[in-house]
Amino acid sequence: MSPEANTSSPDGANYEHTVLRTQIQQSLQKVEAQKKRLKSTDRRYTIMSIVLGVIATFVAGEAAVTGEPLFGNWRLTTMIASVSTLSATAITGIQKQIASPEQLLETSECAAKLKALKVETIAADYELDLVTDTYQGIISEFPSVDC
């Protein structure tokens, strides 16, 4: 390390250590925000899919049990049941594209690795080169995660 690399900030902490610690913290915050968005999106789509499935089941089941169309005629009853089923299926497919379980898993794994790395930077004199290499490795290991 060159003498310039050991320049200290006014508070006495090594400037490069502080900058890297801040970078790791900012990356962790971005990843946690992305994870929160993915979970929220996944939850919304799951709820919509379940509700539409329940509606379809209720409409079809009620008509089958009573032997009478639920909405006055069979065509409307079956149309509502089939549109609800179609919508539930479409929402499930969209959910897998927008908030895939693999993407949520990758984001969670990246966050865990960044948290572990953040712990390593608690000591003011942590090994800068090792932590920098590890940080770069995490960034390159998860290219689809916003960190």
What's the pLDDT band for 72 if we cut at 50, 70, 90?
confident
Q: Is residue 9 part of a domain?
A: no
Q: Is residue 147 part of a domain?
A: no
pTM across the whole model: 0.76
Domain boundaries, position 88 = 14-141
Q: Is residue 3 part of a domain?
A: no
Express as a percent the part of the chain with pLDDT over 90. Answer: 76
The partner residues of 8 in beta bridges, in order of sequence, read 14
Q: Is residue 69 part of a domain?
A: yes
Q: Is residue 79 part of a domain?
A: yes
Q: Is residue 37 part of a domain?
A: yes
For 14-52, what is each residue's pLDDT tens digit? 889 999 999 999 999 999 999 999 999 999 999 999 999
The domain tally of the chain equals: 1
The closest of 122, 124, 104, 114 to 46, measured between CA atoms, is: 104
Residue 5 pLDDT greater than 90, yes or no = no
Quote the CA–CA distance of 106 and 60 in Å, as a whole number.
40
In single-letter form, the type of residue at position 102 comes to E
Q: Is residue 8 part of a domain?
A: no
Q: What is the mean pLDDT of residues 96-108?
A: 91
Q: Is residue 82 part of a domain?
A: yes
